[in-house]
Amino acid sequence: DAGVTQSPTHLIKTRGQQVTLRCSPKSGHDTVSWYQQALGQGPQFIFQYYEEEERQRGNFPDRFSGHQFPNYSSELNVNALLLGDSALYLCASSLGVWQGAGEQYFGPGTRLTVT
Amino acid sequence: TQLLEQSPQFLSIQEGENLTVYCNSSSVFSSLQWYRQEPGEGPVLLVTVVTGGEVKKLKRLTFQFGDARKDSSLHITAAQTGDTGLYLCAGRRGNTPLVFGKGTRLSVIA
């Protein structure tokens, strides 16, 4: 049973560029959430996708956008990259939008470095 | 302002020692989770607690949810080098997004 997969593993971009990160959820899951984890911090919620729509969004600017495909996989796009966008980007999948203590499973993350 | 405060930030102990890490908030949570994250990997869920006063055990790990559902603790008995990692607590209020603390970085030395 495949868990959550993310690609690429590492990425180096220049300030001002755009980046796309990809996530495939755990088999049987239909909801994908994206988190940003800066060095020395806990993950911060970016947004959640369910039924190909953004359902909830954290405190992130519009430069961060996403998409969910019919097969439940998801992309995170970041435009006009800033140095402060350097972080580990985590994808988590779950079954259904959050209800109570619903569990989610995290992928290994994509390490983005902006120079 | 951090909604969930974890303490200590760093902890280095010898193998075989016991330890407790804390997760505190002024807010009430409907559920609280503990994760362990190793370098280069995503967080792995250890436990979910939902009832005030609830205690859950996972082998040598004991998790407690405070009576008022504002705080939690993780106690490890006879720590092993394999327990080394970043321990994160995360809370949810209703159907709002999961909120994480900054974590406690544990190093267990042989």
pLDDT of B5 higher than 90: yes
Give the DSSP H or E segment for A11: strand A10-13
Cα-Cα end-to-end distance for chain A: 37
Distance from CA of B16 to the nearest CA of A (A): 27
A40 touches chain B (CB under 8 A): yes
**With contacts defined as CB-CB under 8 Å, which chain B residues touch A4?**
42
Beta carbons of A42 and B90 less than 8 Å apart: yes
Chain B residue whose CA is closest to A42? B102
ω into residue B8 within 30 of 0, thus cis?
A: yes
- CB within 8 A of B105, min separation 6: which ones? B9, B10, B11, B85, B86, B87
Question: B36 with B89: CB under 8 angstroms?
Answer: no
Kindly tell me if the per-residue pLDDT of A70 is higher than 70: yes
Window A:44-83, CB contacts with B under 8 Å: 44-45, 48, 56, 58
- Predicted local distance difference test score (pLDDT) of residue A103: 81
Chain B's closest residue to A5, CA to CA, is B42
pLDDT, tens only, A3-62: 999 999 999 999 999 999 999 999 999 999 999 999 989 999 999 999 999 999 999 999
Rounded average pLDDT over B25-41: 93
Interchain pair B42, A90: CB under 8 A: yes
Residue A100 has a pLDDT of 45
Give the pLDDT of residue B1: 57
Residue in chain A lying closest to B37 (CA): A108
Test B88 with A42 for CB contact under 8 angstroms: yes
Chain B CB within 8 Å of residue A107 CB: yes
In this complex, the residue of B31, B96, B103 whose CB is nearest that of residue A42 is B103
Which of B41, B95, B101 shows the shortest C-beta gap to A108?
B41
pLDDT, tens digit (0-9, with 9 covering 90-100), for B50-107: 999 999 999 999 999 999 999 999 999 999 999 999 999 999 988 788 899 999 999 9
Distance CA B93, CA A58 (A): 14
